[in-house]
């Protein structure tokens, strides 16, 4: 450009450098909708203490949401001491899934309403197990041609789907507060929303952390599932089936009747239950709850995975009433048959306070996951989407209220 940069003042060099860095804060706008799980590492703790990991939905510029983590210790009195938060973000390695089952892939395209007349030419050229780059290259070649807008959109959605499977690997020496799961695939281009983490116990006693979340590209919602054993390596995949739509998916922490069980609000209004032999395939939803009280007349949904108790599945719910006011309620479901509701609180457990109602999204209290510690429900929740806190509730008192018949 014919410019002698050696003659620039320090102020001008800093200005040019600041434009080039494109620094971005993942939580500049909001830090909310927490979900809490027990850490696998419970070493070097005093009696009555528990190490926990809390996830948050972090929103930065442009309403773009990511998943971030914090670690802390609950003491014997249920006081939560959080670890110091590091200032920088660890950039992970991203690896796309290498091969795909053609039959399952085509089934998912059908669920996404991608017309066969636009996809069949490409899919017919692929083998029963095709490679990631084979589909990407085939779609890219067709997009170069003079094709109509409907076909162009369908082919882009095929690429959108294949990019939805990937692995994330953070550096093992990074602090957990430095690990942020950003929107990576096209399906998540407008955000990763409301991850509900749960510590899942398999039939053989082994455990794994799963989380369900909503991927959003500005037009379409895609429910997705991620898994991890260490909060360093994560596997991400979309969920399938005619029930894999809308928001609010929450996985039970163990199998029910020998099958995986999932809650969701697939119609935007009511609570549904699914059973499945595969953790990513969800069909045949069963409606188990619908709005009953004025504070939940607009919709009812879960606030995270059900919690096992000897008395039943403790289900934290959210209800939306007049003026789009979000409250948190509690239900108790039968252990053997969660379609049976044992009890439901008539009044909210938590409601927005007048002095807390202003925020990024006003008049809301919301949670994405709770645990039981020292015979208390530990319920983290967001306050009008601008900050997060937690409340403790005596479990015996809560169960008594749920089982009391008026």
Q: Are 315 and 332 contacting, i.e. CB atoms less than 8 angstroms apart?
A: yes
Does the pTM surpass 0.75? The reply is yes
**By C-alpha distance, which of 286, 289, 284, 285 is closest to 271?**
289
pLDDT digits (tens, 9 = 90+) for 132-151: 889 888 888 888 888 888 88
pLDDT tens digits, one per residue of 150-193: 888 888 778 878 888 999 999 999 999 999 999 988 889 899 99
The rounded distance, in Å, linking the Cα atoms of 209 and 230 is: 8
Nearest to 190 by CA among 218, 163, 221: 218
CA distance 79 to 7: 57
Phi first, then psi, for residue 152 (nearest 5°) are -60, -45
Largest CA distance in the chain: 84
Phi, psi of 296 (to 5 degrees): -130, 20
- C-alpha 356/C-alpha 94 separation (Å) is 39
* Contact partners, residue 336, CB within 8 Å, separation at least 6: 256, 257
227 burial (CB, 10 Å; 0-12 / 13-18 / 19+) is middle
pLDDT at 219: 80
Q: Mean pLDDT in each 10-residue stretch from start to end of the chain (406 residues)? A: 88 88 84 96 97 96 92 98 94 90 87 82 89 87 84 81 91 97 89 96 96 90 94 94 90 97 96 96 96 96 98 98 93 98 97 76 91 98 88 98 87
Q: Whole-angstrom Cα distance, residue 270 to residue 283? A: 16
Determine the pLDDT at residue 71: 98
Provide, rounded to the nearest whole percent, the portion of the chain with pLDDT above 90: 65
pLDDT of residue 159: 82
DSSP state of 278: S
CB 53 within 8 A of CB 70: yes
Sign of CA dihedral 177, 68, 200, 332: positive
DSSP state of 163: T
Q: What pLDDT, on the 0 to 100 scale, is given for residue 203? A: 94
Other residues' Cβ atoms within 10 Å of the Cβ of residue 404:
8
Measured in residues, the chain has a length of 406
User: Which residue(s) pair with 80 in the sheet?
Assistant: 74
Q: Tell me the HSE value of 383 on the side-chain side, using a 13 A CA sphere.
A: 11
């Amino acid at each position: 450009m014919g410019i002698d940069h050696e003659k620039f003042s320090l102020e001008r060099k800093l200005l040019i450098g600041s434009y080039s860095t494109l620094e971005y804060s993942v939580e500049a706008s909001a830090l909310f909708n927490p979900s809490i799980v027990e850490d696998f590492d419970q070493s070097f703790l005093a009696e009555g203490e528990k190490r926990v990991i809390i996830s948050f939905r972090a929103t930065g510029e442009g309403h773009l949401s990511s998943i971030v983590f914090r670690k802390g210790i609950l003491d014997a009195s249920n006081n939560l001491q959080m670890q110091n938060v590091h200032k920088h973000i660890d950039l992970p390695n991203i690896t796309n899934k290498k091969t795909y089952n053609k039959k399952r892939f085509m089934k998912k395209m059908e669920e996404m309403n991608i017309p066969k007349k636009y996809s069949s030419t490409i899919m017919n050229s692929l083998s029963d197990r095709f490679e990631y780059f084979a589909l990407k290259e085939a779609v890219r070649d067709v997009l170069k041609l003079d094709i109509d807008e409907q076909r162009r959109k369908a082919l882009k959605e095929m690429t959108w789907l294949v990019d939805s499977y990937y692995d994330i690997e953070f550096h093992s020496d990074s602090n957990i507060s430095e690990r942020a799961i950003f929107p990576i695939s096209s399906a998540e281009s407008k955000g990763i929303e409301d991850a509900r983490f749960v510590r899942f116990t398999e039939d053989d006693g082994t455990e794994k952390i799963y989380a369900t979340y909503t991927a959003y590209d500005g037009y379409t919602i895609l429910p997705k599932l991620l898994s991890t054993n260490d909060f360093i390596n994560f596997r991400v995949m979309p969920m399938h089936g005619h029930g894999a739509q809308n928001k609010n998916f929450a996985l039970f922490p163990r199998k029910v009747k020998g099958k995986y069980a999932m809650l969701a609000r697939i119609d935007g209004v009511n609570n549904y239950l699914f059973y499945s032999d595969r953790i990513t395939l969800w069909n045949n939803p069963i409606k188990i709850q619908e709005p009953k009280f004025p504070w939940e007349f607009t919709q009812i949904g879960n606030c995270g995975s059900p919690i096992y108790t000897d008395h039943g599945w403790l289900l934290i719910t959210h209800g939306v009433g007049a003026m789009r006011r979000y409250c948190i309620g509690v239900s108790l479901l039968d252990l053997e048959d969660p379609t049976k509701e044992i009890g439901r609180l008539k009044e909210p457990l938590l409601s927005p306070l007048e002095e807390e109602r202003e925020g990024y999204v006003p008049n809301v209290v919301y949670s994405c996951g709770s645990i039981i510690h020292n015979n208390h429900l530990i319920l983290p929740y967001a306050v009008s989407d601008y900050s997060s806190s937690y409340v403790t509730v005596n479990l015996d008192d809560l169960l008594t209220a749920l089982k009391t018949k008026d």
